[in-house]
A and B are shown apart, each in its own frame.
Chain A
C-alpha cells in the first residue's frame, strides 16, 4: 500500500508525507515538536485523551487534535497560535493541578516527560493560579507481583493500557471508576504470581511518561537509594 504523497504547511514549514497519515507523528518526524502525552509511536488510532496536541487547521472550525487529524494536500496547520498556546497551557495546568509535584523523590525525575513539556510550555510544575486537587487515591498500589503503581503521579494518559492491549497475553490493564476517581487498574484481581505473566515484559512501565508505573524491583532499588541519601 503506497499512499499518495502530499505537501502540507506547518508553521510556514513545508512537509511532504503520505496523505491520510496522522498529523502528529508527521510533525514529530519532521522536528516540529507538539506536546503530547497519550500518543505512542505506531498507535493505529490514538485515543486523543490528553488534549495537549491541539492545533489549528485552516478551514476547520475549532482546535483539532493533531494525533487524529489526517493530512491532506494543501493542509495549512498552525501549532502555536495564541488560542492554541492558551488552550495547551490550560490543559497542562489542569494536569499538574492534580499531581503531587514531588519531583525530587520521583523515580522519573529528569527523565519525566511532564518536566520536558513544562519546559517547552514555560509553565511551572506546581499549580499557582489553580488550586491543587488532591485525588482520593492511595500513595502506592503494590499488590501486583512485578509492578508498583503510584496513582497520584498518574496523568491517566492511557499509554500503559494501550500498550498492554497490544501484547499477546496482555490486556491486564484497564481504566476503572469515573470522573476524578478514574484510575488505572489491574484487570480482575487475580494477581497471584503464578497467573501473572508480566515478569519479562514491563512494556507499560517503559511507556509511562511520568514514572507512575514502575518495575517493582527497580522501584525498590530506587527507594533504597533515596533512603541512603
Chain B
C-alpha cells in the first residue's frame, strides 16, 4: 500500500531492527564460527568442516554458534573459517578441515590461549597482536566494491545486508525517481560486465523511452565459461545486492517485472536467491508498493537448462519463452522488443551488483575508480598456474602483470609465465610480452582478447598453445546452437584442423585454412558467440605461430603436452636403485625394472599420462619428457632377467 511515510523512513525502521540483530551476533558472549559455504567452499569440504566443529564443540561441552556464509574469493585457502571469539578480533583461518576444526575448538575456544597461528591468515580488524588482512598483498591491492561484503555476511539473512546499508540506494532511488537513477548510471558510464562492455545506462535509456504496457528486467546469471564463477559467487554470497541492483534497473526503465535467469547447475544460487526474494518481499523491499512508494516489482527465478548459448540475450529470451535457445537477428534489440515483445533489459549479475554502490556514492565516486573509459572495478576468477587462484576484484586499468604477479602471487613452482587466456572460451591468449596490457574493455580488445565476463586462465611453459586453442574451440563448437552455417560448421572445421595438428598430422596449408575460416566465422556469424568463437585460434596463431610450425614441420610439441608428439623416459643417472614409487602409479604397467635395478618405461605400453612424473620423489626427479619421441636417448636399458628378479623378491 502507498503510504505517507517516505521510502527512507520505511527503510530506517528495517535498518534499525537489522542493526540490533547483527549487533547481538557481533557482541555475542558465545563464540561465532563463520564457515565459507558457497559452492566453492562446499566443494572444498565445508560441510565436513562444519561437522568437525559440531562434534568438537559437543565433545568439549562448548557452546558456540556456527554460521554458513558466502565466499571470500580465496580459493587457494578453502575451506575458510572466521572465528569470532570474545576477547579476540575476528580471525580468518585457511584450509580448515574437520581435523583442524577440532584443534581450533580445543586450543582456541576451550582453553582460549592458543589462536592457532599455523592456520591463521589474519585478523579482520586492525589489532596489535595479529597480522591483519591488509598486511597481505592480495587484500592490499584488491579494491572490493562489489564483493565488499561477500563471505562476511550471512546471505540467508536480509538483516545482514540491511545492517551494512543495504537497500539504502533503492530507497534513495524511490525518493528521487527512476529518471534520476538512470542519469546516475549513465553519468557513471557503467559498462556491461557480461563481456561486451555496452554502457548499461544507454541500454536502460532505450528501454525507458519505449511506451509499453509492461517492461521487464532480467538478471543474466547463465554463467557458462569454463572456469568462471564470479556470478555464482555474487548470487550465493550477497543475493540482496543483486536484487537491489535489479530493482534499481527496473525503477530506471519503468519495469514492473523482473527475473533472475540462473543456470540449473547452480542449485545453491537458485535456493539462496529464492529465499532472498521471499525475505525482501516480506519487508516490502520488493513486491507491491515497495517501501510505501507507488513502484511495484514482481521478481521470479528462472532456471536455465545449461546451454552456453543462452547467455546470449536473444537466445536467453527464446529459452525463457519456452522455445529452443537460439539467438535471433538484432535489431530489434531486446531493449525495444524482448520477452513477449516487451521492452526487456538484460544485465549481467556483476553489472547489477555494481548499481547499488553507484547510486549510494554517486557517479563521480565511480569515475574515481578504474580508467576514464572503463570506470569501476573488474572481477576476475583467476585460475590455472598461479600461486593464489581465486576471485579477485581490482580497479579497471591495472596491468595483467599486476593481477597475476602482485595480486595472485605469480606462477606456481618457480615456472615461467607463458600466456594468459582472458575472456572465457571466446577470449584470446595473450603472451608474456603483452603482460603490460591494461585490463579494461578497450585495451584488451585492441590486442585481440576481450574482457569477457571475467575468466582468466594463467598458463606456464608446460602449456601447449595449439592444444589450448583446440580445447576452447572444442568447447565452443560443441555449444554452438547449430543455427548458422559459419558457427556450426566453421568452428567444427577449426577443431578438426587443430586436432590433426596436435597429433602431428598437420600441414602448413592448414595454417592458412585456420586463418581463413576464422576470419569468415568472425565476419559471417549471426550472434556474438559465433563472432568471437575463433578468438583463441586467431590469437594463438598471431602470438604463438612458431608452436604451430613446430607441430607441423618438426612433429614436435614445444611444451611437451600433446601426447602423440611426446614421450616419457626415466633418466637412469637420476633414478634411484630400489625405489619403485613410479611403478604403482602407472595405469598400464609400463614401468619395469632394469638390469641394474633401476626403472624404465616400455614405450609400447606407455599412454603418456604423466602420473610417473608426479610419483617420482622430488629428490630424484628422474622422469623426463621429450618431444618428438625420437629424442629418447639410448641408455642401453635391459630388463632385469625374470629369474634373478624372482630371487631378489624372495
Contact, CB under 8 Å: A94 / B486: yes
Query: A90 on the interface (CB 8 Å rule)?
Result: yes
Contacts A62-B523, A175-B324 given; indicate if A51 touches B517 (C-beta within 8 A): no
Chain B residue with Cβ nearest A90 = B520
Interface residues of B in 452-503 (CB under 8 A from A): 477-486, 488-490, 492-493, 496
Query: A68 on the interface (CB 8 Å rule)?
Result: yes
Q: How far is the CB of B164 from chain A (nearest CB, A)?
A: 43
Contact, CB under 8 Å: B488 / A156: yes
Query: B16 on the interface (CB 8 Å rule)?
Result: no
Contact, CB under 8 Å: A179 / B526: no
Query: Which residue numbers of B lie inside 8 Å of A, CB to CB?
Result: 307, 309, 324, 326, 328-329, 477-486, 488-490, 492-493, 496, 513, 516-517, 520, 523-526
Query: Which residue numbers of A lie inside 8 Å of B, CB to CB?
Result: 45-52, 54, 62-63, 65, 68, 83, 86-87, 90-91, 94-95, 97-98, 129-131, 133, 156, 158, 174-175, 177-182
Q: How far is the CB of A182 from chain B (nearest CB, A)?
A: 3
- Pull 22 A–B residue pairs with CB atoms less than 8 Å apart, ordered by A: A45-B328, A48-B526, A50-B484, A51-B485, A52-B485, A91-B520, A91-B524, A94-B486, A94-B489, A94-B490, A94-B493, A95-B485, A95-B489, A129-B513, A133-B489, A158-B483, A174-B324, A175-B482, A178-B478, A180-B477, A180-B488, A182-B483
- Which residue of the partner chain, among A54, A87, A179, contacts B477 with CB atoms under 8 Å? A179
In the bound complex, CA of A116 to CA of B307 (Å): 36
5 residue pairs, one from A and one from B, having the closest CB atoms: A182-B482, A94-B489, A90-B520, A179-B480, A68-B329
In the bound complex, CA of A51 to CA of B522 (Å): 12
Given contacts A45-B329, A47-B328, A54-B524, 8 further A-B contacts (CB under 8 A): A51-B484, A51-B485, A51-B525, A87-B523, A131-B493, A133-B496, A175-B482, A182-B488
- Which residue of the partner chain, among A50, A87, A175, contacts B520 with CB atoms under 8 Å? A87
Contact, CB under 8 Å: B485 / A179: no
Q: How far is the CB of A205 from chain B (nearest CB, A)?
A: 22
In the bound complex, CA of A46 to CA of B266 (Å): 35
Contacts of B517 in A (CB 8 A): 90, 94
Instruction: Kindly name the residue among B477, B485, B525 whose own CB sees the greatest number of chain A CB atoms within 10 A.
Output: B485
Q: How far is the CB of B510 from chain A (nearest CB, A)?
A: 10
Q: How far is the CB of A48 from chain B (nearest CB, A)?
A: 5
Number of A-B contacts (CB under 8 A): 100
Contact, CB under 8 Å: B483 / A49: yes
Contacts of A158 in B (CB 8 A): 483
Contacts of A91 in B (CB 8 A): 485-486, 520, 524
Contact, CB under 8 Å: B482 / A48: no
In the bound complex, CA of A163 to CA of B477 (Å): 28
Contact, CB under 8 Å: B329 / A178: no
Chain B residue with Cβ nearest A65 = B329
Q: How far is the CB of A77 from chain B (nearest CB, A)?
A: 17
Chain A residue with Cβ nearest B478 = A179
Contact, CB under 8 Å: B482 / A180: yes
Contact, CB under 8 Å: A49 / B492: no
In the bound complex, CA of A182 to CA of B524 (Å): 19
Contact, CB under 8 Å: A178 / B520: no
Contacts A95-B485, A129-B513, A180-B492 given; indicate if A51 touches B524 (C-beta within 8 A): yes
Q: How far is the CB of A224 from chain B (nearest CB, A)?
A: 34
Contact, CB under 8 Å: A97 / B485: no
Contact, CB under 8 Å: B479 / A178: yes
Contact, CB under 8 Å: B493 / A50: no
In the bound complex, CA of A179 to CA of B324 (Å): 13
- Which residue of the partner chain, among B477, B489, B524, contacts A97 with CB atoms under 8 Å? B489
In the bound complex, CA of A91 to CA of B480 (Å): 16
Chain A residue with Cβ nearest B525 = A51
Contact, CB under 8 Å: B484 / A49: yes
Contacts of A45 in B (CB 8 A): 328-329
Contacts of A178 in B (CB 8 A): 307, 309, 478-482
